[in-house]
Amino acid sequence: MSRATQSRPRPRCRRAARTVAVAYVVAMIVGGLSAGAQGSTPAEPLLSWLSQPGLNVLYVFVLMPLAVMLGDLGGGGGDAVPYSLALSCGLGAVVNVLLVWAATCFVRAVAADLPACRKRRTAVR
């Protein structure tokens, strides 16, 4: 096979992956907006569950250090802004997409280096 025929399926796969990632983030934002506009709905736990572990990463590495540096601003008293659920679920979804992208890049890098590692590991005869 020539190099051109081997690389042909890859852009189509990457385009599909980008489309799925954008659709996931948009669906999380729209779901958060609709659930936030209706008040307390049974969809809130589902949206929070679908945005895990990105939402936890966002809380631990961004929001908690900001709360420590800036102090408590008193925004968590139950009067949540309607778009806060959309913002948190959307940002959690973005972090999830970035986590999957990083894991995919890592796996590709390891897979690309495996033949060279196997070649070096075998004894010279």
Alpha-carbon span 82 to 59, nearest angstrom:
19
Which pTM does this prediction carry?
A: 0.76
pLDDT digits (tens, 9 = 90+) for 55-112: 999 999 988 888 888 887 665 555 556 688 888 899 999 999 999 999 999 999 999 8
Segment of 6-10, 13-17, 79-83 carrying the highest mean pLDDT = 13-17
Residues 6 or more apart whose Cβ sits within 8 Å of residue 87 = 32
Number of independent structural domains in the chain: 1
**69 occurs within a structural domain:** yes
**117 occurs within a structural domain:** no
**109 occurs within a structural domain:** no
**122 occurs within a structural domain:** no
The whole domain housing 8 covers 3-73+80-96
Tokens of 100: 């999957």
Question: Are residues 18 and 57 in contact, defined by beta-carbon separation less than 8 angstroms?
Answer: no
**123 occurs within a structural domain:** no
